[in-house]
Amino acid sequence: MTVRVRFAPSPTGMFHVGGARSALQNWIYAKQQGGVFVLRIEDTDAARNKPEWTEGILSALDWIGISRGSYEGPYFQSANAGEHRAAAARLYESDRAYYCDCTREDVQARTGSQYQGYDGYHRDLGLGPGEGRALRFRTPDEGTTVVVDLIRGEPTFENKLIEDFVIARGDGSPVFLLANVVDDMTMGITHVIRAEEHLPNTPKQQLLWEALGVKPPIWAHVPVVVNEKRQKLSKRRDKVALEAYRDEGYLAGAMRNYLMLLGWAPSGDREIVPWSVIEDEFRLDEVNLSSAFFDEKKLRAFNGEYIRALPVAEFIDACQPWLTGTETIAPPPWQPEEFDADAFAAVALLAQTRIAVLSEIVPNVDFLFLASPLIDEAAWTKTMKDGSAELLDDAVAAFEALESWDAESLKSTLEAVGAERGLKLGKTQAPVRVAVTGRTVGLPLFESLEVLGRERSLTRIRAARLRLV
């Protein structure tokens, strides 16, 4: 038997990081088993679906390493609508489903409770199809439904506790439960790997598989992804869009690595490992049962490690979208003609050790490409205190006398300026840094001055001095 897994997102918004984790788990499992990864776009919610969301899913999968052409699909659920309706008809004809025209208010009136499920009122009344009548599945009265789950063992559900659930609406359109089952049958899916939030629906879906005469797939319900308050990640509340992390400057390798640690860990006391190790070691039966905490701070630290591990040439290439601006990334504060590739290359290694996401490259190097620095007013107020004007005067005079404009000479010169005033280097260089870069933190000052050059550096220090008049 060829293993066939599927990833079936809906094109109704940005690509969720939890969905990305499910895609990767399916992808790896299929690869390990010599099987097939199928992409199905569940696009039957016409009111919310947009073509750009579908393209967003494809591009997000490309980014995390599941590239177009390496999987089967994408298929579109809407194209299988005829099969969905045919399956509903077969279930009705075989007496595994019946029609019902009860409203929610009708059920509440009979049961006396708004919380009780459907009471089976039309189960044996022989009501035929008609306008506004929903089709309900005839759940077995007795016995149990056992779900074979690679992660959770064999969850068992009493059939008497499963209501006769709707499989087709009053207008004849099949609901998600049935459409999902029919699609999986049509595509020959053998293993369904998905989040545990779908587990309550699984006995219903398994009953549908059996009623349609097809052996159910093997299930694997992975733990749900939660935020720091242990609440399920929500698009309305949490930062969950994979595209947002991509556009902020997270590396695909770091994101892949981190997502696979949500509920699972590689061997040994390690977390940052090559993708080949994850592909080799990942096992569904080793996935934890408890919820997986998506820790953005930890992801950020992961990303910083991945950035620092890049060869400097690759780091320079990776920074280009933020240095030049793209359709998805805001343009930098300098004009294209102001960018100096050689100047950036000269400080790239220094910047590489100081940023955790690629977008941080812009505030670290913008002083190199702007006619004058972007002054952080809070930094200016904090740094430019009594004595700063005279210190800047002394720094200009000392720097003007330098024969060699290099980092070592600049450092020793400014140290001497500070020593005459009884100041350590940190206190001495702070006003100079703000004058030249506009900020109190950033790349090493003296290497920055060397790359910026004598004329531009002195012009900025003089300008800051004049502002202090």
Residues recognised as catalytic: 235
Q: How many CB atoms lie within 10 A of CB 142?
A: 7
Contact between 377 and 270 under an 8 Å Cβ cutoff? The reply is no
To which H or E segment does residue 243 belong? helix 242-248
To which H or E segment does residue 413 belong? helix 407-420
Contact between 181 and 212 under an 8 Å Cβ cutoff? The reply is yes
At residue 193, the 3 state secondary structure works out as strand
To which H or E segment does residue 107 belong? helix 104-111
Contact between 83 and 212 under an 8 Å Cβ cutoff? The reply is no
Task: Take residue 442 and report the two structure tokens written for it.
Answer: 């950033």
To which H or E segment does residue 379 belong? helix 377-383
Contact between 41 and 57 under an 8 Å Cβ cutoff? The reply is yes
Task: Take residue 197 and report the two structure tokens written for it.
Answer: 């939030």
Residue 56: CB partners within 8 Å, gap ≥ 6?
11, 14, 15, 243
Which of 351, 253, 352, 276 is CA-nearest to residue 311?
352
